[in-house]
């Protein structure tokens, strides 16, 4: 069974703001990079255009390779400027605090990206911001992960104060090469951790934002509700369930009962809805687990035991058997074959 994903997901060209500046700062020219990938360099001037996420990811990877800059995605995000009027970003900026901003971010994230979203959890006095994908990808996304997590970090500085820093930044993949990561973030940076994330004191979630504006926020939300209609999933259940499974796997909240509660559906109704779309819950759960496992095997150095725990298996042997049934290779052999 093949699980290779051909991604139809799109991103807005506003993500390219700062790309040309980052390239110039390294002594390069952005136009040949675009042309090598058959992309229009003029996309930078059309922030509301949509283009394929896979092309954006390839562009970041190509920049890192051609300019010999392992931290290229970080650099692009540090130089990123928001579009002149970006409804999603304006909603975040006008929120009363980060906690409220997170709630609104969950509601309107489809206006910003079909690819990435953020989840905030609190534990032991810390707020931990996790960067997540709406679907796993079977290609190298390290530069894009650098880019998105750094953008969130820069936004935190914009919303709170310029000298604000998280306590630490973590990435779930191995360090792609030498670079001034701690200087760029101004805080300890760790690789090969369980997730792409950063953490800060929980109390910062409730600090008033410098740019909050209740009246303007109401206007922006009315506008966003109209825009949101154009980004709905078309009534499809499978993408919603897949996303909830991804979010709940590591905490053990990804079974049929738990997902049904989150969707306010009876388990049998959820199962029937998925069957109408050509898949059972059990098959979707397995598919999602295996896609995440492949992503971690390809893009990180974490152990098989850690991977099995992250995708909800209580024993490594159970994970290994499921993986081999799914792909006809053991996890070790699959990783070796793909990394040749």
Span 97-125, pLDDT tens digits? 999 998 888 888 766 666 888 889 999 99
Are 10-224 and 238-338 equal in CATH topology?
no
Partners of 10 in the β-ladder: 52
What's residue 252's pLDDT?
78
User: Where do runs of H (alpha helix) occur along the chain?
Assistant: 19-25, 30-36, 53-66, 72-78, 87-94, 98-108, 142-159, 181-185, 214-228, 238-248, 256-263, 267-276, 281-299, 304-310, 316-327, 331-338
Residue 286 CA to residue 202 CA, distance in Å, equals 35
Residue 145 CA to residue 300 CA, distance in Å, equals 12
What's residue 249's pLDDT?
84
Name the residue among 172, 192, 189, 173 with its Cα closest to residue 181. Answer: 189
Structure tokens at 141: 């996304």
Other beta carbons less than 10 A from residue 324's beta carbon: 14
Helices 53-66 + 142-159 axis angle, to 10: 100
Pair 41, 30: CB distance under 8 Å = yes
Indicate the DSSP class of residue 49.
-
- List, in order, residues 6 or more apart from 212 with CB less than 8 Å away: 93, 94, 95, 96, 97
Handedness of CA 39, 224, 81, 157 (dihedral sign): negative
CA 293, distance to chain mean position in Å, is: 16
What's residue 154's pLDDT?
87
What's residue 227's pLDDT?
62
DSSP line for 224-289: HHHHHGGGS-TT-SHHHHHHHHHHHTTTT--SHHHHHHHHT--HHHHHHHHHHTT--HHHHHHHHH
Pair 172, 222: CB distance under 8 Å = no
Name the residue among 54, 78, 329 with its Cα closest to residue 185. Answer: 78
What's residue 262's pLDDT?
77
Structure tokens at 287: 């598919």
* Mean pLDDT by groups of 10 residues along the chain of 340 residues: 43 87 96 95 82 92 97 92 66 92 83 79 94 82 94 87 88 90 93 94 93 90 70 65 84 86 80 88 93 88 90 92 93 87
What's residue 295's pLDDT?
87
Pair 241, 275: CB distance under 8 Å = no
In the chain, where the domains are located: 10-224, 238-338
What's residue 229's pLDDT?
59
What's residue 230's pLDDT?
45
The CATH number given to 10-224 is: 3.90.1520
What's residue 183's pLDDT?
92
Name the residue among 122, 178, 173, 123 with its Cα closest to residue 149. Answer: 173
Name the residue among 130, 134, 334 with its Cα closest to residue 244. Answer: 134
- Report CA dihedral (235, 238, 240, 241) to the nearest 10 degrees: 140
Residue 135 CA to residue 117 CA, distance in Å, equals 11
What pTM, to 2 d.p., does this model score? 0.67
The CATH number given to 238-338 is: 1.10.10.60
């Amino acid at each position: 069974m093949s699980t290779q994903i051909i991604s139809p997901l799109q991103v807005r060209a506003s993500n390219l703001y700062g790309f040309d500046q980052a390239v110039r700062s390294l002594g390069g020219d952005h136009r040949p990079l675009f042309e090598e990938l058959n992309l229009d360099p003029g996309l930078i001037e059309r922030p509301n255009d949509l283009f394929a996420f896979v092309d954006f990811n390839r562009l970041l990877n190509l920049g890192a390779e051609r300019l010999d800059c392992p931290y290229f995605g970080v650099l692009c995000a540090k130089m990123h400027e928001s579009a002149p009027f970006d409804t999603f970003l304006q909603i975040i900026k006008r929120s009363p605090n980060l906690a409220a901003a997170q709630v609104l971010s969950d509601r309107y994230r489809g206006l910003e990206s079909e690819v990435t979203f953020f989840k905030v959890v609190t534990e032991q006095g810390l707020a931990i911001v996790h960067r997540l994908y709406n679907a796993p990808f079977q290609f190298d996304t390290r530069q894009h992960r650098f880019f998105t997590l750094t953008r969130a970090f820069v936004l935190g500085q914009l919303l709170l104060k310029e000298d604000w820093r998280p306590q630490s930044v973590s990435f779930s993949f191995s360090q792609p090469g030498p670079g001034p990561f701690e200087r760029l973030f101004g805080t300890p940076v760790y690789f090969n951790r369980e997730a792409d994330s950063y953490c800060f004191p929980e109390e910062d979630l409730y600090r008033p934002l410098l740019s909050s504006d209740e009246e303007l926020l109401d206007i922006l939300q009315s506008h966003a509700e109209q825009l949101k209609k154009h980004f709905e999933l078309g009534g499809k259940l499978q993408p919603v369930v897949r996303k909830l499974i991804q979010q709940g796997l590591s905490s053990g909240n990804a079974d049929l009962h738990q997902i049904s509660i989150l969707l306010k559906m009876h388990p049998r109704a959820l199962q029937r809805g998925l069957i109408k779309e050509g898949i059972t819950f059990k098959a979707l759960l397995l598919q999602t687990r295996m896609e995440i496992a492949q992503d971690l095997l390809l893009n990180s150095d974490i152990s098989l035991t850690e991977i099995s725990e992250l995708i909800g298996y209580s024993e490594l042997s159970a994970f290994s058997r499921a993986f081999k049934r799914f792909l006809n290779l053991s996890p070790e052999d699959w990783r070796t074959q793909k990394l040749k």
